[in-house]
Structure 1
Amino acid sequence: MMIENNLFWLLVCGHLIGDFYLQTEEMANGKKEERNILYKHALIYALVLLVAISPVLNSDIFIYVYLPVVISHFFIDLLKVKIQFKRNSESFITRNIFLVDQIAHIAIVIIFACIYANDSTIALNQFGQNLLSFYQTLGMIMTSSILLRIVFVFLLIGKPGNIIIREINNKEKIRGNIMTNGTDTGKEGIEETEYKNAGKLIGILERILVVILVMLNQYAAVGIIFAAKSLTRYDKIVKDPSFAEYYLVGTLLSLLIAIAAVLSIQPI
Structure 2
Amino acid sequence: MVRGYFAYLLLGHILGDFYLQTQVVSDRKEKSLKWVILHGAAYLGAYVIAALPIFSIEVALVGMVASIAHFSVDMIKYGYSLKISNGRNTNILERNIFFADQTLHAVSLMIIAYAATLYCTPITSPGLITGFLEVVGMTGEAASSWIIAVLLIHKPVNIAIQKLLMVYKPISSDVTRINDNNAGRFIGTVERLIMLILISNGQYSAIGLVLTAKSIARYDKIAKEPEFAEYYLLGTLLSTLCVIIASTILR
Instruction: Tell me the TM-score normalized by structure 1.
Output: 0.85
Aligned counterparts of 2:77 and 2:114: Cα–Cα separation in 1 = 25
Aligned length, in residue pairs:
247
Aligned to 1:28: 26
Whether the aligned pair in 2 keeps the contact of 1:149 and 1:265 (CA below 8 Å) is yes
Amino acid at match of 1:99: F
- 208, 213, 216: which one aligns with 1:223: 208
Aligned counterparts of 1:36 and 1:157: Cα–Cα separation in 2 = 30
Aligned to 2:186: 201
Aligned counterparts of 1:91 and 1:167: Cα–Cα separation in 2 = 8
Whether the aligned pair in 1 keeps the contact of 2:47 and 2:64 (CA below 8 Å) is no
Whether the aligned pair in 2 keeps the contact of 1:11 and 1:109 (CA below 8 Å) is yes
Deviation at 1:111, TM superposition (A): 0.9
Deviation at 1:130, TM superposition (A): 4.5
Whether the aligned pair in 1 keeps the contact of 2:200 and 2:247 (CA below 8 Å) is yes
Identity %: 33
Matches for 1:62-141 after TM superposition, within 5 Å:
62-63=60-61, 65-87=62-84, 88-90=88-90, 92-124=92-124, 128-133=125-130, 135-136=132-133, 139-141=135-137
Tell me the alpha carbon deviations over residues 38-81 of structure 1, each in whole angstroms, 9 at most, x when there is no partner: 1111101001112212415334x455x33331111012112112
Summarize the Cα distance change of 1:84–1:242 in structure 2 as closer, same or farther, 3 Å threshold. Answer: farther
Aligned to 2:196: 211
Q: Secondary structure at the match of 2:136?
A: coil
Aligned counterparts of 2:238 and 2:220: Cα–Cα separation in 1 = 22
- 150, 164, 187: which one aligns with 2:160: 164
Aligned to 1:189: 175
Q: Secondary structure at the match of 1:220?
A: coil
Instruction: Tell me the TM-score normalized by structure 2.
Output: 0.90
Aligned counterparts of 1:25 and 1:91: Cα–Cα separation in 2 = 16
Deviation at 1:92, TM superposition (A): 4.4
Q: Secondary structure at the match of 2:171?
A: helix
Whether the aligned pair in 1 keeps the contact of 2:10 and 2:109 (CA below 8 Å) is yes
Matches for 1:224-239 after TM superposition, within 5 Å:
224-239=209-224
Amino acid at match of 2:5: L
Aligned to 1:182: none
Gaps of 5+ in 1: 180-184
Gaps of 5+ in 2: none
Aligned counterparts of 1:206 and 1:62: Cα–Cα separation in 2 = 35
Which stretch has the larger CA shift, 42-51 or 154-163? Answer: 42-51
Q: Secondary structure at the match of 2:147?
A: helix
Whether the aligned pair in 1 keeps the contact of 2:66 and 2:112 (CA below 8 Å) is yes
- RMSD between superposed Cα atoms in Å: 2.0
Aligned to 1:142: 138
Amino acid at match of 1:121: T
Whether the aligned pair in 2 keeps the contact of 1:157 and 1:257 (CA below 8 Å) is yes
Summarize the Cα distance change of 1:62–1:159 in structure 2 as closer, same or farther, 3 Å threshold. Answer: closer
Aligned counterparts of 1:26 and 1:157: Cα–Cα separation in 2 = 22
Aligned counterparts of 2:203 and 2:128: Cα–Cα separation in 1 = 33
Whether the aligned pair in 2 keeps the contact of 1:13 and 1:152 (CA below 8 Å) is yes
Tell me the alpha carbon deviations over residues 16-35 of structure 1, each in whole angstroms, 9 at most, x when there is no partner: 01110111111111111222
- 151, 171, 177: which one aligns with 1:178: 171
| 2:45 paired with 1:47 | yes
Whether the aligned pair in 2 keeps the contact of 1:89 and 1:95 (CA below 8 Å) is no
